Amino acid sequence: MVQNPVLKRPDRSAGALRLLVLALGAIGASSAYAQTVSVTPSVQSRLTWTDNVGASSDKESDWIAEISPGITVSRKSGRFNGLLNAQLRNVGYANDSSRNTSFLALQGSGQIEAVENLFFVDLNANISRNNLSAFSGRSSSDDLSVDENNETRTWSIGPRLEFRLGDTARGSLRYKASWLDSGGSAVGGQRLNELTAQASDPAAVRVFGWGLSYSRSESEYDASASRDVTEEVGRATLFINLTPQLRLRAIGGYEKNDYASTEDEKGSIYGAGFDWNPTERTAISGTTEERVFGRGYNFSLKHRAQRSTWDLSYVKDISSSLQTLGGGIYQDPQFLAFFNDATLVAAIPDDLQREAFVRILLGYPATGGTGDIVSNAHFVSKTWRAAFSLLGLRNSLTVSAQQSDRSSLSSITGLSSDDDFALSDTIKTTSLTVSFNHKLSGISSLNTAVTHSRSEGASGTGLDTKRLTATVGLTTKLGPRTNAGLTYRYQRSDGSSASSDFTENALTANLGMTF
């Protein structure tokens, strides 16, 4: 009999300490299993002139200086694998010192193999400052979104047991605890406890296979929200292996949750799916299920040629901010598939540059969070994404488009007035990004990108914001460990309210060194 974990209220004051423990634990583990650990200290400096420092209709220019010491710890072999990238960002304003701020920007993801091939511990942490509103302020990828109210902090720890059942069946048992905290009032503290168990043998008798899974999640909030919520989902899957490349799936199950009401909403799950790998470079997968919220979908197509990558996906499912942000970018399967692809690794060997490239390919901000909605409400999310990239010897072109339509299904009261779901029960965001990189020489590159996005609220709310961001920049190496760059950015926001309207021109010079 599986016992539910004991839950405790989230503790805001312990947030920084938990993150520090996770970071030191990751570094300590890498030392314990010391083989090949890469530790790279760095200093990044930036000087920006902007003609609209407040991103408002009343323009005010200012000079902004930033000096950010940082450290990157990486390990890719042995019993510990992980990456920790941390920067202490110190930002100062020439004309308005009240805006000055210092904060830790951090992203870490790691796995400890405590018992060989049996017991693992997953660690994740993320601190970033990205605009939390889809309708006002700067874009989520803007480096000048450094206000404390825009800060989100997520961290998680998850012990995981992997085991075999007989010769071919495999199973796992995992418990994961995740926390979300913020620097402002837009979102309250959250804790998500997830218990999952699964076992499967997709080819138990060659033609037929089986799979069983169970999950229970409990979301707890601080005093700002009215109540906690739970979800339980169980599934049984019958696999039908038609060919070595094509597998069909029949799915049946049961689920219940109390997201939309204090009374459990429950019902059966039934659906079907397929997995098709026509070539080694192509993977197509699709699933559709009848759920308590309606019909759910999960479709993906990934293809990699010698000089191009393709990605297409459509997902409709229940989600929350902590589920989408809690693991950081390195917990996104789509991100990992491209980030670890041999073609991309060969073309962009530097981890940080390749991360930025894949983020743009998938429609995410180049750094920081994932630009997702941050809310205390659970929601049904319908998201499609299409991305294409061409990788040449001197040029690379990326085109990505995505649309997310989220409908709140939470009856939780007490949402902050800064929470977008307090303004509208549905939020639709659409974006298109085109980026181009040209290698001028072995040490210099020209980079350009244009992003157009639109955020809409429910009919009658009047919420409608359109954004356009265009950048052009030059980067070069001044030495083996020194790089420099100059970037011009134009940004325009047209919204349904005066507070959402602004234009900005910004010029940034940066100088970075690693040691």
Residue 12 or residue 308, greater confidence: 308
The arithmetic mean of pLDDT across residues 104-116, rounded, is 89
Q: Confidence band (pLDDT; 50, 70, 90) for 229?
A: confident
Which range is most confident: 15-19, 36-40, 338-342, 436-440? Answer: 436-440
Decide: helix, strand or coil at residue 420: helix
Q: Are 133 and 420 in contact (CB under 8 A)?
A: yes
Q: Report the percentage of the chain scoring pLDDT > 90.
A: 45
SS3 21: helix
Q: Name the 3-class secondary structure at 204.
A: coil
Q: How confident is the model at residue 411 (pLDDT cuts 50, 70, 90)?
A: low
Between 449 and 8, name the one with better pLDDT.
Answer: 449
Q: Is the pLDDT of residue 439 over 60?
A: yes
Quick check: 261 pLDDT over 90? no
The number of residues in the chain equals 515
Sorting pLDDT into bands at 50, 70 and 90, what band is 363?
low
- For position 29, what pLDDT does the model report? 46
End-to-end CA, the chain: 53
Please give the mean pLDDT across all residues of the chain: 84
pLDDT at 16: 43
pLDDT, residue 331, reads 61
pLDDT of residue 358: 76
- The pLDDT score that the predictor gives to residue 275 is 96
Q: Which residues does 192 contact at the CB level (< 8 Å), separation at least 6? A: 176, 177, 178, 179, 180, 217, 218, 219, 220, 320, 322, 323, 326
Strand ranges (E), 12-135: 37-50, 62-77, 80-93, 101-115, 119-129
Q: Which of 135-144, 250-259, 265-274 has the lowest mean pLDDT?
A: 135-144
Q: pLDDT digits over 15-69, tens only? A: 444 444 444 454 444 444 445 788 999 999 999 999 999 998 889 999 999 999 9
pLDDT at 327 (0 to 100): 55
Q: How far is CA 300 from the centre of its chain?
A: 17
Question: Does 344 score more than 80 pLDDT?
Answer: no
In the predicted model, what is the mean pLDDT of residues 401-405? 91
Tell me the per-residue pLDDT of 412-430, one tens digit each, with 9 for 90 and over: 666 777 788 888 889 999 9
CA dihedral 89→94→100→101, nearest 10 degrees, is 0
Torsion of CA 110, 388, 307, 142, to 10 degrees: -60
CATH 2.40.170 fits 12-514, yes or no: yes
Average pLDDT over residues 83-107: 92
Give the CA-trace dihedral at 325, 327, 333, 338, to 10 degrees.
90
Question: What's the pLDDT score for residue 372?
Answer: 63
- pLDDT of 457 > 80? The answer is yes
Q: What is the 3-class SS of 427-455, one letter each residue?
A: EEEEEEEEEEEEECCCCEEEEEEEEEEEE
| CA 278, chain centre distance (Å) | 29
CB 72 within 8 A of CB 38: yes
pLDDT band at 334 (very low <50, low <70, confident <90, very high): low
Lowest mean pLDDT among 348-357, 448-457, 499-508: 348-357
Report the DSSP beta bridge partners of residue 197: 173, 214
Banded model confidence at residue 183, pLDDT cuts 50, 70, 90: confident
User: Domain segments of the chain: what residues?
Assistant: 12-514
Sorted by sequence, the CB contacts under 8 Å of residue 2 that are 6+ apart come out as 195, 197
